[in-house]
Structure 1
């Protein structure tokens, strides 16, 4: 049982006992069964209130939870003080039996509401379910890739960007790696996060939610996206498959980049530098500005030269596209 549930269970027991004791005194012990039943009912009602409140509070930040706890404590202290002085000055006998439950619940709700507001939890850290646009959950691969920062900068990302703490911890672990390549990638990811937070037109939310019963980071990301009705942004092929199977929409930056590449049709001609030899004996290989590989028949003898080529075919693969061509007229 979590600390929050334990605290509220104790409050439930105190409230139920106090209500029962007050009714016993007011009725001269003549309605003992009714009073006990009333106390049990109020205790159970408070327990169910706590149960569903805990689900709500699990989406809040630590600061908001502290505010709610302080507000609850202040509300309980106020109620006990009110009840104590009512007993001393003899006002409790004049109150109807339902006065204390109403006062207690009213003060409790007010205390929690004020505590949440003061603690920065006036709204959920991610209010994606009420936003017009879906929020976007970023995974490690999308952050390290870095293009998400450029995409959001030009206004193609709508809604909040959600980054869970367990992804940040993963980035920090990569940045602290002894492997120089991993270290560079991790630091690049942290720098991309910083750039996203500095953008005025995008809202980045760091959420503390961690699913302790789930070990795999990929499954945690899918679960988080489902809970907030968010889209998942990733470059991971396997994560894309898992998310699609569970009904989570995936935005793959690589697929977006492939879709934005210029259309090249067979029969078109272009100029390209032959960078290296191909697999076959006479083949040469070149690359377009976007990284697309171009295989050039009879291009091996032109390595390190810029030549005219004619496109013969274009093949689309899961990782991109490959262009096949032949050497064109050098005078074109």
Structure 2
């Protein structure tokens, strides 16, 4: 609602400016002049309104604006104007001849202004990730839970589950993809090993899917920090997560341990998947398809949709059948969770 009121005030102010310009031009019109001169004030008024509507249309056309980009543009323009004024004050005695004004002084000043504003905005846009201290709000916002950026590694991309999670609107955080991880992924996709090549190309497809998703705030991080020199990829990821005050999103067990040694928060996709598996209590019943015989004399084996193995007593003679089973116990192992169940006697 506030933004609508702001736009209305902007249009009204623009209309007032256009009316003032039109009235000023009308006062200068001499009676009896050509009709085209009389129409000019109306054209000015209409032109100002069109410019105002164009600005609002541009605002609506770009709904998602990043605070770091806006702040970089604002500060770049401000610094460019200040530098231009200082530079022109210093060069004034050399540009203007004694006792006269150089007719090209205004053009020189405009050229310097355009050049310095472009240079300042360009530098700040390319290094905006290192200028987070410029806007205090950005730093204060980091104290709130849930907005720390998530730094992605190769395993989290190739895994494939991240793309599915991103479609569920579970991520409020920005997903940060370092450039050196992308290079590593490209190296895997170009590998001579067929399996690695397939995994790498799958990872690139998944990354492109995440990048184009409108439900995810995705960012490619191109800055090479000085601490990265001579470090392996895993250590670069840890250092980058520390630099951004973010979390590391991975499915790599070893990287998980290394990150925790450096006091970097880690989200392990395997632990997330394990936590999301349905919990079955002894006595609960569900249907499952018996796919193969078990190790026991009368056992059969089936699998839940999440891959959890179910050992079924009395299931050996029901292979390739869907049966109703009741849970007897569960067992947590390093490889995951196993469920033990027995076939329910429907007729009982």
Class of the TM-score when normalised by the shorter of the 2 chains = 0.5 to 0.7
C-alpha contact 1:314 1:324 (8 A) present in aligned 2: yes
State the match for 2:206 in structure 1. Answer: 192
Q: 2:183 aligns with which of 169, 188, 202?
A: 169
Q: In structure 2, do the counterparts of structure 1 residues 144 and 122 end up closer, same or farther at CA, with 3 Å as the change threshold?
A: closer
Q: SS of the counterpart of 2:128?
A: coil
Q: What's the C-alpha RMSD, in Å, of the aligned pairs? A: 3.6
- The Cα shift of 1:311 comes to 1.1
User: What aligned pairs does 1:259-270 form with structure 2 within 5 A after superposition?
Assistant: 259-270=275-286
User: What aligned pairs does 1:28-177 form with structure 2 within 5 A after superposition?
Assistant: 79=87, 86=93, 114-118=118-122, 121=125, 124-125=128-129, 129=139, 131-132=141-142, 133-177=147-191
Q: Which runs of 4+ in 1 moved over 6 A?
A: 87-91, 110-113
Q: In structure 2, do the counterparts of structure 1 residues 329 and 180 end up closer, same or farther at CA, with 3 Å as the change threshold?
A: same
Q: SS of the counterpart of 1:247?
A: coil
Q: Distance in 1 between matches of 2:139 and 2:203?
A: 27
TM-score, normalised to structure 2, is 0.61
C-alpha contact 2:329 2:339 (8 A) present in aligned 1: yes
Q: Distance in 2 between matches of 1:194 and 1:307?
A: 41
State the match for 1:283 in structure 2. Answer: 299
Deviations 1:18-60 (Å, cap 9, x if unpaired)?
Answer: xxxxxxxxxxxxxxxxxxxxxxxxxxxxxxxxxxxxxxxxxx9
TM-score, normalised to structure 1, is 0.63
Please list every run of 5 or more consecutive structure 1 residues that lacks an aligned counterpart in the other structure: 1-59, 92-109
Please list every run of 5 or more consecutive structure 2 residues that lacks an aligned counterpart in the other structure: 1-67, 99-113, 133-137
Q: In structure 2, do the counterparts of structure 1 residues 116 and 323 end up closer, same or farther at CA, with 3 Å as the change threshold?
A: farther
Deviations 1:122-160 (Å, cap 9, x if unpaired)?
Answer: 772485756551111001111111222222222111121
**Structure with more contact order per residue of length (Cα contacts < 8 Å, sep ≥ 6):** 1
State the match for 2:37 in structure 1. Answer: none
